[in-house]
Chain A
């Protein structure tokens, strides 16, 4: 009898090693897995799941659903995940218009939302929330960096973005730092695939530089058409326009384009090398910045959950905010509005051993926060 008890105790203790959590944790991931934006969502999911897999903890479950880049669908899925799946944390949304439909109501129902990408200005300032964290950036950041970069040597910029919250944040961010003259400021439709009319305007504008924020398939279409147009003005953009999810499809037309990013595959730190190797081993392709951001979001959640129960929102939130992780980006910490403070780099699209990818050129901003944090009172 004694032996049996001892064996049972032993078995139990063996069974519980690696279970540092006070409570099981259920994460609901809503992301875009179908349609034109699916590449972004798949990198988000894969980056996130890589960190979950590395954590090796059986107490974390992740339920994943496809929002098809439709706000109404994202809202339905969020309701279902909160009410019937009983998730504790929501994450994964790529697009700012979808995030605006989901995150405010999720945090109002007492759930954490950790964003892997979308970071609209509306949630970074006065409407920030204790339960809302952003592991990626604030939408304006990468555009601000390009505005700062364009100050060196570009006198007249043509700037273009899709007409949705992140597009507006983009051009606002660019203009916040860019001191030169604007040749034109153009908003295109979300999902637009033909840019002939805009390229013609660029040709006629007399601009000496072009800034485009066109994530996913939009960027592929634009760059291919631009390369054929005979317009010889240098193109730059935030990292999304030349991210690894679109570079293979753009092909050589992207080479030489300058972009801003918080990470590139050539980063020289241990966490980045491990992430790159693990990701390539697991999925057999290069990760995009969406994958890095999601990887860090998952690391943040895992780190917080190992210290505090998610049921205790104050404690869990405090642990999240410590950002006790090894980010492939290098330095990473949270600002007062729970958006990152991080370094932002200039990258250039290059072809290395037949693979088109981004190479780091220089640091544009060190420890860069965002313009809205001062309005956030939490």
Chain B
């Protein structure tokens, strides 16, 4: 194993982590502020990817598609909040899970109805095609570096938004005492819609960026949703900082596990066996990490102040 390979794998882990952060940030924000478990967050990711693929196919520009993905996911999020989610805040978590699970089914079948079952084509924009040389003599895809950069910008933007703006102040207030900020005259309903749309837009952005790298298809959001839940549970539900660290931890653990475990096992058993067992254990690794972290810190790494 060379240093170049290890560096490349580390970047891969970071990139996966950044993508998970975009998903987890919205999820944890919504849970932190509204106390809502939103299983349909993966559907908003899918909406972003489909919007980007469709608009990019119409206009020929990935960038217009990317903007469309933000708009479409935010709009879908706002509509869902106004029509369905709003009625769920006072219900218990089981009702929320049921209702948002129903939303997943509706989004999936609706998308299939509109776009069919075959994956859509969405390519990486010409500007970000290809690979660049890294120190150590290896190459790395430009687009993955761009995802890491975009994630860093979003993380910094969210930090500024939450710590420096009035909206951020209200979000923080909402996290620590929902009734009180309502009593202080803040329009809590609008705040909820805005937060939900913001979380949806982040999911849509992640969907569009990843869509160009993977395949844009119905049901693409659910595997990511599961990972995003792992992230926020590790990070501490409701904490953006926790989501960031949790996402990077999960991203790097997953990538390094897939890469290193078969190699380590190959020292003891035949390569074919090592590949099979290593692959199986690697797919469990993040859950093992989650279990260990929860055993030590039952409320995650950075538990939100209230809860």
Contact = CB atoms under 8 A, between A and B. Distances in A.
A34 B112 contact: yes
A196 B280 contact: no
A228 B218 contact: no
A196 B139 contact: no
Contacts of B16: 194, 196
Nearest to A175: B272
Nearest to B4: A204
A203 B279 contact: no
A197 B279 contact: no
A145 to B, nearest CB: 20
Interface in B106-160: 108-109, 112, 117-121, 123-124, 129-131, 138-144
A141 to B, nearest CB: 20
A217 B276 contact: no
Interface in A293-335: none
A197 B255 contact: yes
A200 B214 contact: no
B15 interface: yes
A221 interface: yes
Contacts of A354: none
Contacts of A171: 272
A33 interface: yes
A196 B255 contact: yes
Given A36-B220, A229-B139, A200 B112 contact: no
A370 interface: no
Contacts of B5: 200-201, 203-204
A251 B258 contact: no
A259 interface: no
B217 interface: yes
A38 interface: yes
B119 A197 contact: no
Contacts of B130: 228, 230
B258 A197 contact: yes
Contact of B276 (A39, A168, A198): A168
B121 A163 contact: no
Contacts of B217: 36, 38-39, 217, 220, 249
A220 B131 CA distance: 19
Given A163-B280, A217-B215, A198 B258 contact: yes
B119 A217 contact: yes
Interface string B205-240: 000001011111111100100000000000000000
Contacts of B139: 203, 229-231
Contacts of B278: 187
A217 B218 CA distance: 10
Interface string A156-194: 000000010000100100000000001011111101011
B59 interface: no
Contact of B214 (A168, A184, A221, A251): A221
Interface string A33-70: 11110110110000000000000000000000000000
B4 A39 contact: no
A36 B124 CA distance: 21
Contacts of A228: 124, 129-131, 141-144, 213
Contacts of B143: 228
B298 interface: no
Contacts of B213: 194, 221, 224-225, 228
Given A196-B15, A200-B5, A220 B255 contact: no
Contact of B119 (A200, A204, A249): A249
Contacts of A194: 12, 16, 213-214
A186 B215 contact: no
Given A196-B255, A197-B255, A249-B119, A187 B279 contact: yes
B163 interface: no
A245 interface: yes
Contacts of B262: 186
A249 B218 contact: no
Nearest to A217: B215
Given A36-B220, A39-B118, A187-B279, A200 B8 contact: yes
Contacts of A250: 121
Interface in A222-255: 224-225, 228-231, 245-246, 248-251
B124 A193 contact: no
A251 B121 contact: yes
Given A217-B217, A249-B215, A251-B121, A186 B279 contact: yes
B144 A196 contact: yes
A193 B223 contact: yes
A125 to B, nearest CB: 19
B101 interface: no
B165 interface: no
B61 interface: no
Contacts of A198: 258
B214 A34 contact: no
A58 B2 CA distance: 66
Interface string A247-268: 0111100000000000000000
A185 B275 contact: yes
B301 to A, nearest CB: 24
Nearest to B258: A197
B117 A197 contact: no
A200 B108 contact: no
A249 B276 contact: no
A245 to B, nearest CB: 6
A229 B131 contact: yes
A35 B276 CA distance: 25
Contacts of B212: 224
B176 interface: no
B182 interface: no
Contact of B12 (A33, A187, A200, A248): A200
Given A38-B218, A204-B2, A249-B119, 6 more contacts: A39-B118, A39-B217, A204-B138, A224-B212, A249-B121, A251-B123
